């Protein structure tokens, strides 16, 4: 299938949400059934092992060649695409999840570039690194992948409307879990419909395995007939049935959660940032502690910029004698002055948080 044959009619609703449609589940706290949102699927979440931070921005350094399409979108500045396309001795494409990561790397810029340009960038990348028959094979996978994304968005629209009709009691009960089960089944069916079996398995098997575990855990946690000890035993049994690579990923996540808990304890007792750093070093090593330091610094810089912006924004909104439309135009101009285009959406999120 040629990627150019994908119609814009099918892709327009997909573009409207910037390729971010995801299936959201509800997790239940064992004690009080507090509802939290957890994403089962983040369609364009770039793997931290694939996109690595760097100070270089030319396309030749980022992609490995000088792109004829000009500089990359701002959101890709300072990144390196570490995934690789590999071929067999007879020239066929070797299937791996790196293929998906490469597609997602470019597609994640849909808020900054039109789809035609993004597909041209992917086409340029594939043409640079692949020859026939691997080249045609990669473009076929891309066409199927984009069509899948469109169908997933349409599914999310339909299922989201059904969820809105559920009240709080239904969200905490079996009706929501039934809806979630239907969502997962339909999502998996769409993946199987649009992707070749081997591609589907490589792209999504680990994720779907973890999703099934998560859903089963929800069923256990929502079963009021089980005592807490029984729930824990059932969950342990579920975890033991998972593949080793999934269990390893879960252990990493649990360690991160443990770090958050221990950090909060230190700060609650009046501890300082140096004590937090020692904890990080003890749990993850010196190199990881340094990365945490860099992240803390970036967050502090962002918060400082945001505080300055929000203070100026408040002054504008409190101006008397101007219509709301005029005030909003001034706010928009102020935001554009303080933040790069790639930061605009994040700034708006912080605005809403400050208002709340």
Q: Is residue 33 part of a domain?
A: yes
Q: CA 93, CA 139: separation in Å to the nearest integer?
A: 11
Reported as half-sphere exposure (CB side, CA atoms, 13 A), residue 270 has a value of: 0
Residues 6+ apart with CB under 8 A from 124: 67, 68, 69
Q: Is residue 231 part of a domain?
A: no
How is residue 101 written in tokens? 């990561």
Per-residue model confidence as pLDDT tens digits over 144-172: 999 999 899 888 888 777 766 665 555 55
Per-residue model confidence as pLDDT tens digits over 302-332: 999 999 999 999 999 999 888 888 999 999 9
Q: CA 343, CA 77: separation in Å to the nearest integer?
A: 12
Cβ neighbourhood burial of 141 (10 Å; 0-12, 13-18, 19+): buried
Q: Is residue 12 part of a domain?
A: yes
Q: Predicted confidence band at 35 (pLDDT cuts at 50, 70, 90)?
A: very low
Q: CA 42, CA 18: separation in Å to the nearest integer?
A: 12
| pLDDT mean over 123-146 | 96
Q: How confident is the model at residue 189, as a pLDDT?
A: 96
Predicted TM-score of the model (pTM): 0.60
Per-residue model confidence as pLDDT tens digits over 76-102: 877 778 788 999 999 999 999 999 999
How is residue 63 written in tokens? 């992609």
* Residue 340 DSSP SS3: coil
Q: How confident is the model at residue 98, as a pLDDT?
A: 95
Q: Is residue 93 part of a domain?
A: yes
Q: How confident is the model at residue 127, as a pLDDT?
A: 96
User: Within its chain, how far is the Cα of 307 from the centroid?
Assistant: 26
The answer on pLDDT for 134 being more than 90 is: yes
Phi–psi pair at 52, nearest 5 degrees:
-105, 140
Q: Is residue 348 part of a domain?
A: no
Number of domains in the chain: 1
Q: How confident is the model at residue 42, as a pLDDT?
A: 39
Q: Where are the alpha helices (DSSP H) in 195-323?
A: 197-222, 228-240, 244-268, 273-284, 286-317
| pLDDT mean over 215-243 | 89
Across-strand partners of 28? 35
Residues of the domain holding 14: 3-204
Q: Is residue 143 part of a domain?
A: yes
């Amino acid at each position: 299938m040629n990627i150019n044959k994908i119609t814009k009619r099918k892709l327009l609703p997909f573009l409207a949400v910037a390729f971010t449609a995801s299936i959201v589940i509800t997790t239940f706290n064992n004690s009080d059934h507090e509802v939290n949102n957890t994403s089962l699927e983040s369609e364009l979440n770039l793997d931290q092992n694939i996109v690595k931070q760097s100070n270089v921005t030319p396309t030749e350094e980022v992609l490995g060649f000088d792109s004829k399409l000009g500089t990359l979108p701002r959101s890709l500045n300072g990144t390196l695409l570490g995934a690789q396309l590999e071929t067999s001795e007879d020239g066929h494409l070797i299937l791996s999840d790196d293929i998906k990561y490469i597609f997602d790397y470019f597609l994640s810029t849909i808020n900054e570039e039109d789809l035609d340009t993004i597909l041209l960038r992917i086409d340029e990348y594939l043409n640079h690194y692949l020859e026939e028959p691997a080249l045609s094979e990669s473009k076929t996978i891309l066409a199927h992948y984009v069509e899948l994304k469109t169908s997933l968005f349409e599914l999310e629209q339909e299922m989201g409307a059904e969820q809105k009709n559920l009240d709080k009691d239904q969200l905490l009960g079996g009706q929501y879990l039934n809806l979630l089960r239907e969502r997962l089944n339909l999502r998996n069916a769409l993946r199987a419909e649009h992707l070749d079996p081997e591609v589907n398995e490589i792209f999504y098997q680990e994720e779907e395995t973890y999703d099934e575990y998560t859903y089963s855990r929800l069923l256990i946690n929502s079963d009021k007939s089980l005592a807490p000890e029984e729930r824990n035993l059932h969950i342990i049994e579920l975890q033991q049935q998972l593949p080793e690579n999934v269990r390893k990923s879960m252990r990493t996540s649990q360690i991160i959660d443990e770090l958050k808990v221990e950090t909060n304890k230190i700060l609650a007792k009046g501890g300082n940032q140096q004590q937090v750093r020692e904890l990080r070093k003890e749990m993850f090593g010196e190199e990881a502690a340094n990365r945490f330091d860099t992240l803390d610094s970036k967050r502090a810089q962002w918060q400082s910029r945001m505080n300055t912006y929000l203070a100026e924004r408040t002054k504008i909104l409190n101006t008397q004698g101007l219509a709301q439309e005029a005030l909003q135009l001034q706010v928009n101009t102020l935001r554009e002055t303080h933040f790069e285009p790639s930061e605009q959406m994040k700034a708006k999120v912080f605005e809403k948080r400050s208002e709340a």
